[in-house]
Structure formats: structure tokens, C-alpha cells
Amino acid sequence: NAGVTQTPKFQVLKTGQSMTLQCAQDMNHEYMSWYRQDPGMGLRLIHYSVGAGITDQGEVPNGYNVSRSTTEDFPLRLLSAAPSQTSVYFCASPGQYLQPQHFGDGTRLSIL
Amino acid sequence: AQTVTQSQPEMSVQEAETVTLSCTYDTSESNYYLFWYKQPPSRQMILVIRQEAYKQQNATENRFSVNFQKAAKSFSLKISDSQLGDTAMYFCAFMNNNDMRFGAGTRLTVKP
């Protein structure tokens, strides 16, 4: 997907481990967001940011931490991974308010 | 909180025929945006069509069109002349301010 890059694409963790999912965009967008996708539940908003230094909680923020030190990057941190966080994670950036959301390719995260 | 409901977990259609996917939502807001996204097996999230709630005219995008009924809080997607490449998960989404909510999705299979 043009403009939004997520890494890694796949990751397996053990319960209690920590990790950071990376998201970067080169479109100079102010707004960035993280979603998780679980079977039968669509995508749910975890955290979002409306600009550098500004973050806010979405629908399912517990267990996740974010920061936005630059316009380009919006990492998602799992401080102590739990099996319930096994999911596919998407980073997205919509640009102008009325413009389509650009999604990254997703990260499949499994926690054992 | 806003909710989005897609009542059809799975649907199928013959190639070249027309299919309609249903979506209803619940909100007390008057200004918002509605979207349909396509997710093929590649896992990419692709914007299909969007509708601004203040516009009465239904959005169209080539073979894709919507039937937006604001009073009924209904936002269905019609796919005309279905193609094999339309096989995918389809998600309806609602956006107000910075809060975006997705439905659980409809799996569409286009049969040759």
C-alpha cells in the first residue's frame, strides 16, 4: 500500500514479552491510527493520533501504548503480551479528513 | 457509542449478476461519513466507496453504488456486473470526528 509501511508482517511472542509494532507514513499526514482485526469482529480502533505529540484512546486501548514523536512514525507497544492480543494489526492514515484511509499491509501477531 | 451492523456473514453471486450487501448503523450524530472497504485474501484494506451524511445523492463508483437511507440509518452496497475479482470480505464503516467503527464484515464469493 502506497505511503503506509508496517513492520514486521508476522511475529510470534510468548506471554509476558514486550514488543513494538512499527508504522511509518511518507504522506505528511497528521492523522494516524491503529486497529486490530479479529475474526467476526471487523476492525476496532486501538489508539489514534491527530498530530505529533498528540495521542488518544480508541475503542480497545487496554494493553497498548502509543507515542507520536514525529509526523512520520506511530509505533504501537505491547508492554506485556497476552494471548487475547493475538490478532492482525493495521496502521492507517487518512490524510485530509475526507480522503480515503491508507492502510498498511497488516501485522499478524500470535501470542503463545 | 456508534455501532455498525452487517447482518449477512456470507453471500454469493454469479459472475455478471448484481448483489447487494446490507449495513445498518446506530448514531445520535448528524454529521458523519460512511465507507465500504474491500479486503481480498491478500489482507489489504481497499476503499471501495464513501458517502458523506450531509449529501442526499447516493455515491457511485463505476460498478459500485450505495443506497443511503439516513432516516433508516441504512447504507447498502450494490455491486453490478460482479467479477471474480470482487471475491473478498466487505466491511462497512462509520466515521465521526476521529472515531471510526467497522461492521463485522460480509464474505462475498463470486462464482463463475
Please check the confidence at residue B69 and state whether its pLDDT lies above 80. Answer: yes
pLDDT given for residue B2 in this prediction? 79
The 10s digit of each residue's pLDDT in A68-100 is 999 999 999 999 999 999 999 999 987 555 456
- CA dist., res. B65 & res. B86, Å (int): 14
Cross-chain residue pair B102–A40, CB shorter than 8 Å: no
The identity of residue A22, as a single letter, is Q
Phi, psi of B30 (to 5 degrees): -105, -25
B64 near A CB under 8 A: no
From B50, which residue of chain A is nearest by alpha-carbon distance?
A100
Radius of gyration of chain B (CA): 13
The DSSP letter of residue A101 is: P
Query: Percent helix, strand and coil across chain A, each rounded to 5?
Result: 5, 50, 50
> What is the pLDDT, as a whole number, of residue A101?
75
The share of chain A scoring above pLDDT 70, in percent, equals 93
pLDDT on residue A107: 95
Q: CA-to-CA distance for B94 and B66, rounded, in angstroms?
A: 14
Tell me whether residue B20 is exposed, middle or buried, using C-beta atoms within 10 angstroms of its C-beta: 0 to 12, 13 to 18, 19 or more: middle
Tell me how far the alpha carbon of residue B27 is from its chain's centroid. Answer: 17
Q: Which residue has the higher pLDDT, B97 or A19?
A: A19
Residue B39 contacts residue B47 (beta carbons within 8 Å): no
Tell me, what's the pLDDT at A99? 58
Candidates B2, B10, B43; CA nearest to B110 is B10
Residue A63 cell numbers, joined = 494493553
The distance of A19 to chain B (nearest Cα, Å) reads: 22
Q: Give the Cα separation of A36 and A33 in Å (integer).
A: 10
Selecting from B44, B101, B103 the residue whose C-beta is nearest the C-beta of A1 gives B44
User: CB-CB: which of A43, A88, A100 is closest to B102?
Assistant: A43
Q: Is it the case that residue A35 has pLDDT exceeding 50?
A: yes
Task: Note whether A100 contacts B50, CB cutoff 8 Å.
Answer: yes
Residue A1 pLDDT greater than 60, yes or no: no
Confidence of residue A6 (pLDDT cuts 50, 70, 90): very high
A:B CB pairs within 8 Å? 50
- Predicted confidence at residue A30, as pLDDT, reads 86
Residue B72: pLDDT over 70: yes
Kindly state whether B47 is in contact with chain A, defined as any CB-CB distance less than 8 angstroms.
yes
| Coarse DSSP helix, strand, coil percentages of chain B, rounded to the nearest 5 percent | 5, 55, 45
Mean pLDDT of B21-37: 93
Only one residue has cell 475503542, namely A59
Best residue in A6, A29, A37 to probe B by mutation, most B CBs within 10 Å?
A37
The verdict on A43 touching B (C-beta cutoff 8 Å) is yes
Return the minimum-mean-pLDDT range out of A76-85, B32-41, B92-101: B92-101
Flag whether pLDDT at B17 surpasses 60: yes
User: What mean pLDDT comes out for the span B74-89?
Assistant: 97
Please give the sequence-ordered ranges of beta strands (E in DSSP) within B8-45, or none if there are none: 10-14, 19-21, 24-26, 33-39
CB of A2 less than 8 A from some CB of B: no
Choose between B96 and B12: higher pLDDT.
Answer: B12
Per the structure block, which three cell numbers stand in for B90? 466487505
> How many whole angstroms separate alpha carbon B24 and alpha carbon B100?
15
Contact A48, B98 (CB under 8 A): yes
Q: What is the pLDDT of residue A98?
A: 47
Q: What is the mean pLDDT of chain B?
A: 93
At residue A96, the pLDDT reads 55
